[in-house]
């Protein structure tokens, strides 16, 4: 549904992105991650027809983004980081205006506006001036305009930035409800958010895609050891010393500085939890917690970005 093929964009002699290639299938929810200046915004602007690439091609549903840009724009709902709203207009009037701009037929406008108001939970504020709404509701209005005309592709750029915790939960839930009906590309700095919502991630750094896979597959590729979290009621140092002597244990460290909470790194070829449990019980220790944990998406991201070999950049 979304195709980027060899996208390269120069600003003067400086390459913002280089040979960016990826695909997002129909109905997929994909996170687009990268540090500031990595090329996320440039890539999104190309995909949403805001500007052309210097080299390469972008297609939405098989349609070239610049040979047939008007057709492509009808297939995309875009929520930019800074939501463009007419703050002096009531919500319903603004959505009617946006529907007209998006080419919704006049006879269908009322029904379409009421549909997105319902989807985005705006019924109680539909009559209110946008400028009088909270940031969370303004974000909902921005999402509602992106959903007008039911586009098959939704591009969301930092959809929860600046929201309070309650508003963040509400917007995440709303995005999750759109899964399956739409293909969604989600750019966010909030990595737990991406992990909760997205099936796959694209990671861009220094203008190039450095990884694309599900978080679980990236974990399998990058994690060289297994980690087990332990907690005992008392005598943590005794357990740490005993566990360190077990075959297959690589390292034992305190967890959060607590002597009774441990992080045990082990060889991935064997699950040592049964052996550790028997050891603790045999020593009369009260085992309060024991669980296996994988790398978080944040740890995956940091490992990929910081361990990527520096590349020489030349301009001709």
Mean pLDDT of 225-251: 89
Round to whole Å and give the CA distance between 73 and 58.
13
Count of residues making up the chain: 316
Domain with CATH 3.40.50.300 in the chain: 2-214
241-260 pLDDT per residue, tens: 999 888 889 889 888 888 88
DSSP run (H or E) holding 256: none
44-71 pLDDT per residue, tens: 999 999 999 999 999 999 999 989 999 9
pTM of the model: 0.78
CATH number of 224-293: 3.30.70.100
Q: What are phi and psi of 131, to 5 degrees?
A: -65, -15
152 is written with which tokens? 């098959």
CATH number of 2-214: 3.40.50.300
Round to whole Å and give the CA distance between 166 and 136.
9
Domain with CATH 3.30.70.100 in the chain: 224-293
Q: Where does residue 306 rank: exposed (0-12), middle (13-18), buried (19+ CB within 10 A)?
A: exposed
Could you tell me if 199 and 214 are in contact, meaning their C-beta atoms sit under 8 angstroms apart?
yes
Round to whole Å and give the CA distance between 261 and 233.
9
285 is written with which tokens? 């220790």
Q: Is the pLDDT at 26 greater than 70, yes or no? A: yes
């Amino acid at each position: 549904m979304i195709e980027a093929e060899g996208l390269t964009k120069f600003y003067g002699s400086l390459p913002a992105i280089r040979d960016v290639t990826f695909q997002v299938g129909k109905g997929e929810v994909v996170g687009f991650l990268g540090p500031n200046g990595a090329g996320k915004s440039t890539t999104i602007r190309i995909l949403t027809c805001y500007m052309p690439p210097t080299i390469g091609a972008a297609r939405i549903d098989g349609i070239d983004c610049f040979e047939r840009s008007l057709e492509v724009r009808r297939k995309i709902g875009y929520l930019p980081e800074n939501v463009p709203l007419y703050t002096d207009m009531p919500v319903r009037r603004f959505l009617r205006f946006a529907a007209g701009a998006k080419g919704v037929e006049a006879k269908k406008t009322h029904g379409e506006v009421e549909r997105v108001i319902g989807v985005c939970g705006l019924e109680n504020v539909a009559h209110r001036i946008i400028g009088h709404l909270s940031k969370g509701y303004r974000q909902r209005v921005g999402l509602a305009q992106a959903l007008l005309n039911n586009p098959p592709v939704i591009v969301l750029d930092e959809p929860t930035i600046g929201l309070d915790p309650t508003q963040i939960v509400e917007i995440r839930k709303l995005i999750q409800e759109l899964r399956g009906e739409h293909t969604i590309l989600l750019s966010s700095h909030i990595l737990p958010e991406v992990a909760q919502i997205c099936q796959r991630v694209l990671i861009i750094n220094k203008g190039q895609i450095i990884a694309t896979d599900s978080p679980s597959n990236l974990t399998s590729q990058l994690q060289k050891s297994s980690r087990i979290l332990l907690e005992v009621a008392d005598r943590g140092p005794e357990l740490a010393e005993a566990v360190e002597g077990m075959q297959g244990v690589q390292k034992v460290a305190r967890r959060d500085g607590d002597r009774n909470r441990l992080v045990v790194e082990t060889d991935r070829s064997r699950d040592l939890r049964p052996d550790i449990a028997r050891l603790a019980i045999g020593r009369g220790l009260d085992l309060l917690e024991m669980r296996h944990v994988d790398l978080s998406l944040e740890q995956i991201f940091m490992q990929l970005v910081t361990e990527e070999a520096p590349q020489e950049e030349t301009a001709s």
